[in-house]
Structure 1
Amino acid sequence: MSLTLDFVSTIRAERSGLIDLLADVDAMTAWVREHAAELDVDPGFTATEEGREETVRLRQAVRALFARAVAPEPPSRADAADLPAFGGSLALVNATALAAPRAPQLSWNGQPALVTAPAVEAEPSTRVRGALARAAVEFLAGPDRTQLRTCQAPRCVLYFIKEHPRQEWCSTACGNRARAARHYREHKK
């Protein structure tokens, strides 16, 4: 799964209801540490409340862009009514992507190799948000965007990439749940 899909999927549904994997500082710290290599931060990263709030705000902006990308399909049921406006979301994602720019650098350990390095010093939390915003920009401007879908299975709130023409759900479990719900509706007396 892409970093962007992982990020927007930090809101998910379980039997008990909606789960937010960025609900508090400890949860965000754990999520960022899981993705430390992709986010280019120290595996010992520790979130702050301010950084968590800004990251959640960014997530909602990316989810608003996803909602626009899947239209005319309906957006995720998790937060469709609470998404920020499209224009503001687009501006926030673009500004955040610029907040911690990276630059190509040449490394030469026997052979030349391309590496990236921070172009400016930034707090780890700012770098996390910058990496998440850049990943969202690259995803939404890339070829996978046209295959972005909202899972319509009962209780599912995830977005997914449609990998084959007949795929309707994000996972086999969701497909089974949707078929069982349809069977129940059709045979209900």
Structure 2
Amino acid sequence: MLVLEFVSTVRATRSGLLDTLSDVEGMTGWGRAHAAELGLTAAFTATEDLWREVVELRQAVRALLAKAVAPGPASSADADRLPGFAESLDLVNAAALAAPLAPRLDWPAEGAPVATSVPAGERGESPRVRAALARSAIELLAGPAREQLRACPAPRCVLYFVKEHSRQEWCSVGCGNRARAARHYHQHKSR
């Protein structure tokens, strides 16, 4: 899910938080890795403005995810530094509208017609990128997967994930192992 990959550009490592989008070069690399989903070419190069706008959008989306997992705890990465809910909601909605989509009918010579969505009018890269990211966030938050959205409770983990089965507690096997190891350590340390 694009929105979860987007908000996971902030993640924990052993040495602290790592922000994949910490600079323009990071945004360029991440944009190229997700070019198809964002409507970019393989030669995409981020600008300073696009980078700032995308990072601002990421914080707004993280604020909405934090509200969606409530009353459970939000991600510890930035729970104390997130923008307000109303401001975040407005920003995500405005970003989604910045590059509206229109249906287009494609009808190959040897096949059935297929409907695709294309940008309605010419838009720059920043509105297209932000609109794709905002639409992905809206689809998650307004869809049935929202009920399964969780912040990973593992020590030092700052990721959000969609719970895929009833016994899933963590975002990954690695986080589950770290959580069990930490629990085991604390149980045996107090003896």
The TM-score with structure 1 as length reference comes to 0.97
- In the TM superposition, residue 185 of structure 1 has moved relative to its aligned partner by 0.6
Q: Which runs of 4+ in 1 moved over 4 A?
A: none
Aligned to 1:108: 107
Alignment of 1:1-12 (within 5 A): 2-12=1-11
The TM-score with structure 2 as length reference comes to 0.96
Alignment of 1:14-163 (within 5 A): 14-110=13-109, 111-163=112-164
Work out the number of aligned pairs and report it. Answer: 188
User: What root-mean-square deviation, in Å, do the aligned CA atoms of Structure 1 and Structure 2 show?
Assistant: 0.8
Q: Percent of aligned pairs with the same residue?
A: 64
Unpaired runs of at least 5, structure 2: none
Structure 1 counterpart of 2:172, which letter? S
- 2:53 and 2:90 map into 1 onto residues whose CA distance is 14
Structure 2 counterpart of 1:134, which letter? R
Unpaired runs of at least 5, structure 1: none
Provide, for residues 44-71 of structure 1, a one-character-per-residue CA deviation record: whole Å limited to 9, x for no partner: 1110111101100000000000000000
Aligned to 1:172: 173
Secondary structure of 1:88 counterpart: helix
Deviates more, 1:164-173 or 1:106-115: 106-115
Structure 2 counterpart of 1:116, which letter? S
Matched, 1:181 2:157: no
Secondary structure of 2:74 counterpart: coil
